[in-house]
Chains A and B, each alone.
Chain A
C-alpha cells in the first residue's frame, strides 16, 4: 500500500455528523410537517444562496477530514532480505493536502505580498555583473516559486495576471452557463414543460426551490474561485507568511478547524441542554431547582476564565504523556477535541434555559394533559409530545451557535488558549497577525484573507440560520 489510512477522532465525529445529517434528512422526508418546513427553507433565496456558499466550505472541510500517512520511498539496502519493510511518513496528510501539494510545498523564505514576484524584505544578494564579477547588493530577492514561470521578464507579470483573469472569466461564464442550462433542463423534465418555460420560472422565482439564488451564488463563487485557482498555479494569491507558507493554503486548512469547532461542540452541548432543560421543565420541583442552580452558577463564572483553566489543565496532561500519540497531528487533534468539549460544557446553559422555559409552557398545554389523562407514561410524553415540539428551537439554536462558536475559536486562539499552535486555524492566523501588523512595513494580507474568509463563512451560516429559523418557527410559519 502506498499509504496508511489514519483516522483521527475528529474525522470520526465529522463523518458521524454527516451520516446523522443524512439520516435526519431522510427521516424528515417522511414527516409532512418537517418536509414542509425544509421546503420553506428551500424557497428562501437568502438561505439557499448562503447554503450554496456553505456547501463549498463543507466540501473543503470534508476533503480535509480524510487523513493518511504516505509511504516513504524505501531506500535500497535498508530492506531486510525478502521482507520489504514499509515505513510511513511521520507527517499525517489529508486528501486536501494531497490535492494542494503544489501550494503546500512551494514555500518561500519569508513574507511576500499577494501576487508578488519578489520577497517583502530586502536581503543581501549576490549579483553577477555583465563583466562576470560577483557583486553584493541589497535588494528584494526574487521569489523561488512566485511568478517563477516568468523567468527574468518580471515586467510581464501584470499582463500575465490579466490574461489569466480573462481566461478564468471566460471559463467561469461557460461553466456557469452549462450548470444553469443543466438545471433548466432538469427542471423542464421534472415539471414536463419546455426549457424556455423552465428558464422563465427559475428567474421569475416561481419554482418551489430558490434556483435563481443558487445559480446567482454559483456565478459569484465561480467568478471568485476560478481566477483564484488559475492564479494560484504560479503565484501566491494571498501572499506568504513569515516562514514563507502560502496563505491561501492556510486559509483552506482553517476551514476544517472552524467546522469542527462549530459542529462537534454542538454535539457535546445538545445532549446536555436537551436532557437537563426538558427534565427541569417537565419535573419541576427539586429537579428544576438543582438544574437551575447548576446553570446559573456555571453561567456566572466568566466563560474565558473557565475555558482557560480547562485548556491549560488539558495542555499539561497532553505534555506529560507524549507516549499517547504516534504523530503530532494526533496530539493537535486531541487538543482540538478537548477544546470542543470544553466549549460545549460551558455553553449549554443558554439553550438549556430556553428549552426549560418552552417545556414549562408545553407541559401546561391541553394535549399534554390529555395524554396524562390517558395515563401515558412520563417518558413517552416527553418523547412523543414534548421533544418534537422543541425540535424547532434545537435546530434554530444549532445553526445560530455554529457561527458564534467559530468566532469563539478565533478569540480563544488569539488569547493563546485555543487550538494547538501547530494546527492552522483562523484564530492562530489572526494571532500571528498581531505581530505582522506591528512591523514596518506592515504585513496586512494574512489578516485580510483570514478576515474575508471567516466573514464569508459566518455570514453564510448566519443567513442560513435566519432562513431556518423563519421556516421552523411555528408562529412565523403560520403567518406565511
Chain B
C-alpha cells in the first residue's frame, strides 16, 4: 500500500530501506501493534530524523531494525533491506555482524549503556575484535584513534579507566567511539543528547555532525526535540501513534509543515513571538496501543478532522519533491503556520499581574543562603571537606511574579528550592517569607508558614504515592496543615481544586497509576494548591513531559498565576520555558548566581560569558537561526573542589589573570540587572 520511498534528490546510494514495517508487543494473548506500516529509507551521508512524542514507536522502530526487540516484541511484517541484504532473512549469526559492523546504535542514557566493571579500552577492543579482527597492539592503536576522533583529551589514560571515572558527556563520547569501532555505515542515535546538559549537548551534536561528514555515514536520529532536528537532520519523518504521518526535507519541514500534528507541535513550543500568552496545545493524549482508532490516528485531537478522518486511514500524498504527508486535508491549510506564526490566540495571561507596585515587602527574601554537605572520610567519619552545593545565594520574589532559576545539572538549583522549603537544613544565610525568618524555627512554628509555600516536583511518577488515591493525596496536606479540619468540606475542597487544574472530579477516587504523565503533574499541582499557598517552587515541572503536554502545564501555571496571584520560583534548564513564563531570571553556576535580571535583560543582552554560552548552545527549532555557538570546553567542575578564583574561568574564553585569583564581586549594570564577572567593573 505504500509507494516506494523517494529520496528526493540524494545522489548517494540508499543504505537502509524499510518498507511497511510492523512491530507488535505480546500482551497476554493479544498482540498490540506498536509500529504500524512504517516505511523510510536512509542514504549514505544523510540524516533522517524520526521525530515523535514518547510512546509513538520511534525507539521500537530502531530496536526492530537491529532485531533487538525486547522479549515481548515481534516483527509482524514488512521488509528491511540494509546494504542490499534482507535483514529479516539473515540468520542470527550474520545479524551479529550487521549489528555494530553495519549499523551501530547510540543509546539515550550514557550512564547505563557502558558496563561499569570493564575499562573503556576493554569495551572498545571487544567491538574491534568482533568486527575487525584486531587484537593486541593493533586494537590498542585503533582504540586510541577512535577516542581521539570523538574528542577525548588524553586518550592513553582514558583507555585504562572505568566508566565511573568519566563525566556524562565523556561517557557519551566513549559510547559513540564504541559505536564507531566497527566502521558502521549507518549510525542509529536514539535520543543521544536527551540526558545531557545543553552545553554538552551542543558538543555532542557537533561531534556527530563532524563524524558523519568525515565518514559519509548514514544516520537515523531519533528525537523529540525540534531544536536538535533543526541542527542535524537532512530529512525529517514525524511519527505519531506508530505511523509516520509526514516526511519532508529539512527546509520544507520547517518552512511549511503540512500535517496538522506537525503544525501543532511547532505551535506548542514556547517561543519569543508570544511571550506569556497562551501556548497552543494539542487536546487529549496519544491513544494507547490497545485502543487505536480505526481511521486517522490523530483525528481525535485534530482541529480539522471531519467524518472521513474518523473512518478512513489517509494514504500518502506527495505535496512537493520529497515532501509527503498522510492527511485527508489536501488544500494547503495551515501551511502558513510555520515555526513562528501561531494564529493569534495569545491572550494576556500573566501580564495582568505582571506589574507590581514597588515598595511592598517581598514575599520571599533569601539572603546569602549556603548549603554545605560534609564529606566524611575514614573510620571515625571525620569531616574532611564540604560540597558547596549552594554558596551564597540571594533572591527576592514578589507576590504574583515568576523568578526563573536557570543552570546546568549539578549547579545547586534544586538544593536552593529545597533549602527554601526547609526540606534541607541551610548551613548559613536567611530565608524570609513574608518578613518572617524560617531558618531557626521549630517544626511546629514552621507549620503556619508551610501553608504559604509549596513545591511541584520534577518527576510526576515519583512525586505521587502509588498506594494512595488522588483524593487522599490532595487531602493529606489540607489535613496536616489544618486547612479544613472538618471532613465534610474537604471533599468539596478537593473537588474544587481538581476542577481548577482541569481534572475530572471523579479523579479523586482513582489511583495515580491510572493517569498519564501530564495528568499526574496536574494532580501534583492540585496537591500544592490545596493549601492555598502564596509561593510555589516548581522544580523542572515540565522536563519529564512531552512538548504538547508541557504546553498544557505551562498554560495551567500561567492561568493559576493570573487567577490566584501565585508567585513561582521556577527551577529549570530550559530557556524556552523561562522566556515564556518568567519575569526575572537568575543564572546559577556552581552554587552561585552569576547573573540576574529581568527576562529581557538576561535573555536578550546576556552579560556573563556563561549565560552567553548557555543561550547560544540551546538548539533553536528554526531554520534560519544557527549562529555560531560559543563552545564551552569541558564540563561543570565538582562543587566539592571548585576552581580557585572565578568558578567559571577554566571554561571561559575571556578569562584574565584576575579571574584566576579571586571571585568577582557583583557589578550592577542597571537597576535590575546584576552580574558577577570581572569583565564588568
Contacts and interface: CB of A to CB of B under 8 A. Distances in A.
Contact of B481 (A33, A369, A374, A385): A374
B467 A388 contact: yes
A373 interface: yes
Contact of A367 (B453, B458, B464, B480): B464
A367 B481 contact: no
A380 interface: yes
Contacts, number: 67
A371 B465 CA distance: 10
Nearest to A43: B28
Interface in A370-387: 370-377, 380, 384-385
A375 B463 contact: no
A384 B467 CA distance: 9
B1 interface: no
A373 B462 contact: no
A55 interface: no
A376 B443 CA distance: 10
A33 B511 contact: yes
A389 interface: yes
B421 interface: yes
B472 to A, nearest CB: 8
Contacts of B476: 371, 374, 376, 384
B457 A370 contact: yes
Contacts of A474: 466
Interface residues of B, number: 29
B601 interface: no
Contact of A375 (B450, B464, B473, B524): B450
B396 interface: no
Given A369-B455, A389-B467, A377 B462 contact: no
Given A366-B462, A367-B462, A389-B465, A375 B423 contact: no
A302 interface: no
Contact of A369 (B457, B467, B480): B457
A373 B421 contact: yes
Contact of A33 (B453, B464, B467): B467
B511 A32 contact: yes
Interface in B60-117: none
Given A366-B457, A366-B459, A369-B455, A374 B480 contact: yes
A309 to B, nearest CB: 31
A305 interface: no
A366 B454 CA distance: 13
Given A375-B443, A375-B446, A370 B480 contact: no
Interface in A317-339: none
Nearest to A205: B29
Nearest to A362: B465
Given A366-B458, A366-B463, A369-B455, A374 B423 contact: no
Contacts of A369: 418, 423, 455, 457
B511 A367 contact: no
B637 interface: no
A176 to B, nearest CB: 28
A370 B463 contact: yes
A342 B80 CA distance: 65
A29 to B, nearest CB: 16
A365 B464 CA distance: 9
B447 interface: yes
Nearest to A477: B513
A384 B480 contact: no
Contact of B454 (A33, A373, A377): A373
Chain A interface size, under 10 / 10 to 19 / 20 to 34 / 35 or more: 20 to 34
Nearest to B71: A479
A370 B455 contact: yes
A370 B476 CA distance: 10
Interface in A448-480: 474
B506 to A, nearest CB: 14
Given A369-B418, A369-B457, A373-B450, A384 B462 contact: no
A32 B531 CA distance: 28
Nearest to B459: A366
B455 A373 contact: yes
Contacts of A372: 423
A408 B450 CA distance: 52
A374 B466 contact: no
A372 B425 CA distance: 13
B153 interface: no
Contacts of A366: 457-459, 462-463
B175 to A, nearest CB: 25
A469 B464 CA distance: 23
B450 A374 contact: yes
Given A373-B421, A374-B476, A367 B463 contact: yes
A396 to B, nearest CB: 16
Nearest to A378: B443
B468 interface: yes
Nearest to A372: B423
A371 B462 CA distance: 13
Which of B446, B454, B462, B464 is the most central at the interface, judged by chain A CB atoms within 10 Å of its CB?
A: B462
B429 interface: no
B527 interface: yes
A90 to B, nearest CB: 53
B334 interface: no
B477 interface: yes
Nearest to B421: A373
Contacts of A376: 476-477, 480
B465 A374 contact: no
Contact of B462 (A365, A380, A388): A365
Nearest to A385: B465
A416 B473 CA distance: 54
A375 B455 CA distance: 13
A384 B464 CA distance: 12
A109 B144 CA distance: 85
B382 to A, nearest CB: 15
Interface in A25-52: 31-33
A10 B459 CA distance: 49
Nearest to A206: B29
A132 to B, nearest CB: 81
Contact of B423 (A367, A373, A380): A373
Interface string A342-369: 0000000000000000000000011101
B157 to A, nearest CB: 34
Interface in B607-634: none
A344 to B, nearest CB: 27
Given A366-B458, A370-B455, A374-B481, A384 B450 contact: no
Nearest to A31: B467
A377 B423 contact: no
Contact of A380 (B418, B450, B454, B480): B480
A374 B531 CA distance: 9
Given A370-B457, A374-B450, A388-B467, 5 more contacts: A370-B463, A373-B423, A374-B481, A375-B481, A384-B468
15 contacts: A366-B463, A367-B462, A367-B463, A367-B465, A369-B457, A371-B476, A373-B421, A373-B454, A374-B477, A374-B481, A375-B447, A375-B450, A377-B480, A384-B465, A389-B466
Instruction: Please name the 6 residue pairs, one residue from A and one from B, whose CB atoms are nearest each other, closest first.
Output: A366-B463, A374-B477, A366-B457, A388-B467, A376-B480, A375-B450
